[in-house]
Amino acid sequence: MEAAKRDPRRRASANLKPDPELVSALEELGLKVAKVEPRGACPIAEAIAAGVEADAYFYEAAPGLEPSLAILAEDPLSLVSLLERALALLSRKG
């Protein structure tokens, strides 16, 4: 929701467990990935509200917080396409 406030074109997101290889694949695809500090109730929303601009945001586990990777896209089809391309990169490496 916070991302859509700043950029109304971003209407789709996926929330996944962050994996270093997936983060690397997203970067290889040209996405800007921001690592945020795991503080507050919703670290990703807080980073976006503070002006951190990226296509994906992640943080690692902290007391009371599960690790999270949020990938943003303009629409669900774009998001699925992006995830398919990232998984294809991972499968070629594995």
Domain segments of the chain as ranges? 2-93
Residue 9: the pLDDT is: 86
Whole-Å CA distances, 26 to 39, 48, 58, 62, 89: 24, 19, 12, 23, 9
User: pLDDT, tens digit, for every residue of 8-66?
Assistant: 788 899 999 999 999 999 999 999 999 999 988 899 999 999 999 999 999 999 998 99
The pLDDT confidence band at residue 4, using thresholds 50, 70 and 90, is: confident
Please report which residue ranges of the chain form alpha helices under DSSP H: 2-6, 20-28, 43-49, 76-93
Residue 7: the pLDDT is: 78
Give the CATH superfamily of 2-93: Class II aldolase/adducin N-terminal domain (3.40.225.10)
> Under a CB-based contact definition with an 8 Å cutoff, are residues 46 and 34 in contact?
no
